Homo-oligomer: A and B are copies of this chain.
Amino acid sequence: LENNEEKLYSVGELGQRCGVTVRTLQYYDKEGLLSPSRYSEGGRRLYTREDIFLLQQILFLKSFGFSLADIRDCLMKTESAKEIAFLFSQQREVIQEQIKKLEGIASFLFQVIGEINNCGEIGTEKLVAIMELMQQKNPYAFLLRYFKNDDIKTIISTINIDQPVEAAWAGLFEELFALNRAGVDPESEQGQEFTAKWWAAIQTYAKGDSGMTESMFQMGTDVDNWPESAGELKIVTKEFLAKAFEKYFKDKN
């Protein structure tokens, strides 16, 4: 109960919000995957932000089919915000890969449906082909290498020395939040000027990352699904960026 103490979560609270049961958290504790850094006087588990980020990593890796034993070996204790940002960008890349894979399956299904409607039949081998596509020996094994490597922290600190791109984005985000707080209209001249800068940054940043531009296009469309705890980010995205880009693209065409 100190003064500027950060929020702590109990097993039940955390479980509910993250979609896991109390029993699961107790099990992870017993197995040494995730032990809470604090306990109440009565011996109850209290999870800090560090613990929660570990849980986030666990659930992410688990969703790609890794065993708890594998996961245990490559969890990364977070010491700086940069490290978190780095791991998040890794996760985003993996998700982008997954999206591509699913798009491949969807388009193949579409073709097969067309062929069935045409021939009135489907061959055994085409069925098998679909299943080969769906399993596709998970190409995420590289994840373990990425995460397992103890040098990651060194790599990150190296990267940090010169990263003009990251710095540029930090500046843009600062500006975005400032504009929103100042109540600037996203459709105003000032708002549209900022939107143009943001768009230019996307174009630069998305270079060589085909999924990124799409990801940014999608931005805003899914805001309604974001949970309440997204906080200011949700408001800024919905109230400012969504409106700003709507007008921006309307004017462009």
A residues engaging B (CB < 8 A)?
A: 6-7, 9, 14, 17-19, 48-49, 52-53, 55-56, 59-60, 63, 81-82, 84-85, 88-89, 91-92, 95-96, 98-137, 166-167, 169-174, 177, 211-212, 214-216, 218-220, 222, 225-227, 229-231, 233, 237
Chain B nearest CB, measured from A206 CB (Å):
10
Copies in the complex: 2
Chain B nearest CB, measured from A20 CB (Å):
8
Q: Given A116-B88, A124-B7 in contact, is the A218-B103 Cβ separation under 8 Å? A: yes
Between-chain CB contacts (< 8 Å), 12 pairs:
A19-B137, A49-B122, A49-B127, A52-B127, A81-B117, A85-B113, A88-B116, A89-B109, A99-B99, A103-B214, A110-B215, A125-B229
Whether A60 pairs with B229 at a CB distance below 8 angstroms is no
A113 interface neighbour in B18, B89, B130, Cβ under 8 Å? B89
Q: Which residue of B lies closest to A232 (CB)?
A: B115
Whether A122 pairs with B225 at a CB distance below 8 angstroms is no
| Chain B residues positioned under 8 Å from A212 (CB to CB) | 110
Whether B116 pairs with A85 at a CB distance below 8 angstroms is yes
Whether B173 pairs with A115 at a CB distance below 8 angstroms is yes
